[in-house]
Amino acid sequence: MILCCAVATAVSRSVLGKQPTYHIPLYQLGRPAVLVVALLFGAALGPVAAFVLKGLRWFAALQDRSARLAPFMPFVVLSTLGVASAWLPHLLGNGYGAADAALHGDLAIPLLVTLPILRFGATAACQAAQVPGGLLTPMLSIGALIGGLVGAGVSHVWPGTPPGAFSLLGMGALLAGTSRDPISSVVLLSELSSDYHLILRLACACGAATLVSRPLDGARSIVWARAVRRARSQRCRGLPSRSTRRATSLR
């Protein structure tokens, strides 16, 4: 697996260049107190991660209870999202644009407050309506927005603190809290941003988020939620499979 990943990375970089997925400035958080802030920030995102997981399951259960409306759900959800995007374009897509803007500190405070809530609602509704799409990048986007909001507050306490650095910490912390995989989250964010200067702060935030979220929502993760959702869909169509049996056994 390591060899395959190395070859794939080498080929893609030779074709697409060595630019990182997320272009961010070189942030510096040199104060020792920032480690404590990163731990507290990660711990605060733990309940948020548990709420996100519960919310995804609630939206999925709501759609299951309305079986007659299921064929119309994609149209309703996408139409609503299209109308809302006329005022908030950042609701569209997988969230890369919103995360990139938060990393560069280009979003105003009102957007940093409202976009995480609205993007979560859009993501959960699309998943419940079985609209094709993933959960990884939306989680990164929501985490970046929450981190940008926290970073804006911290910058008022410690002038000169870049809010975008907390967006990066928020991306890792929310991903770790929802996936229950802090090590992979730290490595993933470091690789996506090509920035290893914040790896210690990132590890503190990711570890704290995972430790807090796990007792609040058990060992379930976004991977588990999606597997169960796929299993339910296959059972409704009368198509049992190995993934169905595996997802059922995880309950």
pLDDT along the chain (251 residues), means of 10: 77 73 68 82 92 85 70 82 86 84 87 91 83 81 92 83 86 90 87 78 91 81 62 52 43 40
pLDDT tens-place string over residues 87-107 = 888 888 778 888 888 888 888
Question: Cα separation of 247 and 234, whole Å?
Answer: 11
> Look-up: residue for tokens 């970073």?
151
Q: What is the pLDDT of residue 61?
A: 77
Residue 192: exposed, middle, or buried by beta-carbon count in 10 A (0-12, 13-18, 19+)?
Answer: middle
Ordered by start, the domain boundaries in the chain are 31-218, 221-251
Count of Cβ atoms closer than 10 Å to residue 57 Cβ: 18
Q: What is the pLDDT of residue 48?
A: 93
Question: Cα separation of 165 and 233, whole Å?
Answer: 40
CATH 1.20.1630.10 is the classification of domain 31-218: no
Cα 76 to Cα 48, 115, 126, 193: the distances in Å are 27, 20, 10, 36
Q: What is the pLDDT of residue 251?
A: 40
> Look-up: residue for tokens 């993007």?
119
Q: What is the pTM of this model?
A: 0.81
Question: Cα separation of 76 and 218, whole Å?
Answer: 32
Q: What is the pLDDT of residue 113?
A: 92
Q: What is the pLDDT of residue 209?
A: 92
Q: What is the pLDDT of residue 206?
A: 92
